[in-house]
Structure 1
Amino acid sequence: MPSASKMTTPVAVDLPELEGRYAELGGYTVGFETYRQDADPAPLFAGLPDDRCQCPHWGVVQSGQITFRWADREETYGAGDAYYATPGHLPLIAAGTSVVEFSPTDALGETMAAIEGNLAALEAGVR
């Protein structure tokens, strides 16, 4: 049976605000994410429908706090909470937060392509 752990999954994203480790497990990607700084990545979702993340996520907050913002509500989760973030959200993450999150690989890939494009544009100074 396929499995992954934070310790055996290589670092794929290493930014000042985020360390991310990702492994594919049967059509889903498990992400082990640790946020070193407060993060409001809303601008990185530009270009997706409604400029919001359209990928669903199931996760557990291991430490810290994450808030998901939809057009009509917000939901906040803390250490020990399990969550389901439906499409159409924007995350807001506190420094010191660690999550284990499962996402459909195809939908996550589409989202990450938009995020990577927006990151490249920001790094190039294009707005």
Structure 2
Amino acid sequence: MKIKKEDITVVKETPGMILRKQEGFGGHTIAYHELPKGTDFTPLLKGLTNDLCHCPHWGYLFEGSMQIIYHDGSEEVISAGEAFYLPGGHTLIVKEDIKLMDFSPTTELNEVFANVEKRMTELG
């Protein structure tokens, strides 16, 4: 199975941000996101277990950099050109505008996206 980036369904778009995701990849969802510097998922994860993303992600960062903060307080920066694995129990802050593709288990990802949408609505 294959799909072009442009054919992945856009689920959210605002100036400077595009979130795309497509289910149906062997129980996983493929996502392609473009996020601006300063994007911080931390407040959007409130309400999930430990107020963190519990969904694992495997991916590749095409552009920019992002800081990952794990449940144990450890941190790392992922930069353009790096493949990554993020286990459950993390948050993400965009340090430089990013373009990334990742693969995540559909059930867990949908739980996280539902919480993010709810929090975005609450925060206005």
Give the aligned residue type for 2:95: A
State the Cα distance separating 1:50 from its structure 2 match: 0.7
- Equivalent residue number for residue 69 of structure 2: 69
Structure 2 spans left out of the alignment, 5+ residues = none
- Equivalent residue number for residue 22 of structure 1: 21
Q: Deviations over 1:64-86 (max 9, x none)?
A: 00111013300111111001001
The answer to whether the Cα contact below 8 Å between 1:45 and 1:115 also exists between their aligned partners in 2 is yes
Separation in 2 of the partners of 1:75 and 1:14?
27
1:77 aligned counterpart, secondary structure: strand
**Could you tell me the percent identity over the aligned residues?**
31
Give the 4+ runs in structure 1 shifted more than 3 A.
none
The structure with the greater share of residues assigned to strand is: 2
Separation in 2 of the partners of 1:54 and 1:17?
26
Q: CA RMSD in A?
A: 1.3
Separation in 2 of the partners of 1:3 and 1:92?
29
2:97 aligned counterpart, secondary structure: coil
2:88 aligned with 1:87: yes
The answer to whether the Cα contact below 8 Å between 1:4 and 1:23 also exists between their aligned partners in 2 is no
State the Cα distance separating 1:41 from its structure 2 match: 1.6
Q: Deviations over 1:85-114 (max 9, x none)?
A: 011101011342100011100000111111
Matched length? 122
Separation in 1 of the partners of 2:9 and 2:51?
30
Structure 1 spans left out of the alignment, 5+ residues = none
State the Cα distance separating 1:17 from its structure 2 match: 4.5
- Equivalent residue number for residue 13 of structure 1: 12
The answer to whether the Cα contact below 8 Å between 1:39 and 1:95 also exists between their aligned partners in 2 is no
TM-score, length basis structure 2? 0.91
Separation in 2 of the partners of 1:104 and 1:10?
17
Give the aligned residue type for 1:67: Q
The answer to whether the Cα contact below 8 Å between 2:35 and 2:99 also exists between their aligned partners in 1 is yes
